[in-house]
Structure 1
Amino acid sequence: MQKQVQSFNVELLYVFLAVADAKSVNKASQDLLQTQPSISKKVRQLERYFGTELFIRSPRGMELTPAGRRLYPAARTQLASFNKLRERISRKPVNLGELNLGAIDSIATYAYPAFFARAFSVCKSVSISNKASDLIGPFNAGKLDIVLMDSVLSKHLIGQVSQIPLFEEPYSLVYAACNQAAGEVAACGQVTATDLRRLKLLMYPEFCPIHQSIIHVFDQFGEKRPCITQTDYSESTLVTVANSNYTTILPESLARVKVSQESSSLAQVRMESRFTRRVSLFSHNPAIAAQIKDLLQ
């Protein structure tokens, strides 16, 4: 393979390490929330840059070549040095006008409304979304300096990331007031994993933070996942729940607001303690993360 002059950026090293650790382009694409073609393209770009193959396919998956094995520890060292350099250069008082912020919609709206009301007028940019991929991709690419999102999503972040826990809250099951099966569950005072497998669940797609949190609990305890019907990001989800035997899951603060608006048709009940939402602040710069945390208080 002839060496060619190619552009290079540190993301290529992140991708290389992700594929090497997962031994799979498919698994790395899931971890990084990027498409498989995108991951494969970046691996080929890195191979062209170094002028040699870094992976070979084997029955055990993507295995490192001798060149790949030499690059692996060097890539770890280089990324650590790069992150330390970035932290050292960027260590200065936070100027909100220079920051690009991102947050899950319910966090910005219900947990820190005053902060984000100000952020919209003073920050360089503010991205609010229900879709985790709208925040994770730009954050991994360095286009967002700070993201506020569910802690369970940290597995999709690449590089050296500073994570500061912000708060926890229970999840609630939301159901139609006339839903007899859900009402019987609610009469017990809380919803268990076993209950969820017996109910009809309607939720946002798998990369929704709530969806991720729920399946994480089942996987963590080695329990069979419930059957979940996925729907697109839309307010119609609660309309469907109010007029059917479907149920859905929301953070308690959001559930309380939605149910109070439709108190004649919707009801809610808290889920067992295993199903707890944990929210964190993430940044590639620990100094900025700490200062934003202070501003949120």
Structure 2
Amino acid sequence: MTAGRFDIELLEAFVAVADTGSVTRAGALINRTQPCVSSQLRRLEDRIGRQLIERTSRIMVLTPHGRILYDHAAQILKSHEEARMRLSAPELTGKVHVGLPEWFATSRLQSLFCSFVRVHSNVKLELTVADSATLHERLAANEINLAIALVQSGSAEANACVEELLYWVASEDCVLSDPLPLILFPEPCPFRQFVFTSLEAAGRRWYEQITTTSVAAAQMAILSGTGVGCLPAGAVLDSFKVLKEQAGFPPLPATRLAIYTQAQNSSPIVHHLKTYLEQFLESSVSGQSVLNSSTHPDLRVVQA
């Protein structure tokens, strides 16, 4: 059977469902009603002549044909969005310096920055990856223009935040001994106090086996079975075992990320990029993605 021509709105509905794992959440993401999204999915499947998503009472899963289409549809929508932005974007010229937490410098976010500079070819982008405390300090000193950073007490207010859950993680073969070996980030990382308070409440003893400023180094130490770590969802690898309350690891509070701009000398570039990143954070609130086999949620937007 020959597939019919692709309609951009049908592809948009399909990708939204795949990204969010829910017709309802997809509708909220692309500003359409749930019946409208369901109808568009059926129309796309009828046009292609293939089932794209398997629906059960609990989950939605992409079929093999759905996975093939998703890869192409995501690229089509990316090109479509870049074309739309090129035609509607203001003329921007200059330099912008952006700071990111290491675990949040994902391939999807990097791709977004690449799209931004392709649209705004006269903008030079500089990226700094550092811990949130350093990013706040550099913002206060006006050394960087914009940062996605953890919300800290005493920092500037943000209009909206993204909550990212924290997880206890270990390798499959890690021995959960008493006292518990921990892999932590140094002060002033806020995760440390969450860990200590949680373990004290559970009556568990611990010691600090490895302290590192590097997310990659912490991930490697956890993978090696050296100890237990506390990581935000964005840094949790598929090969990690997530430790639950029934194993003696109480739930950890969510962290809060927000977009901050420098105190002085804001520019049209910074304002435009901030709006661009806010849209990215909202679209990253994925719940249970059809593409993600993980059983834990990632992010949710909250008001500050």
- Is the shorter-chain TM-score for this pair beyond 0.5, marking a shared fold? no
- TM-score, length basis structure 2: 0.30
- TM-score, length basis structure 1: 0.31
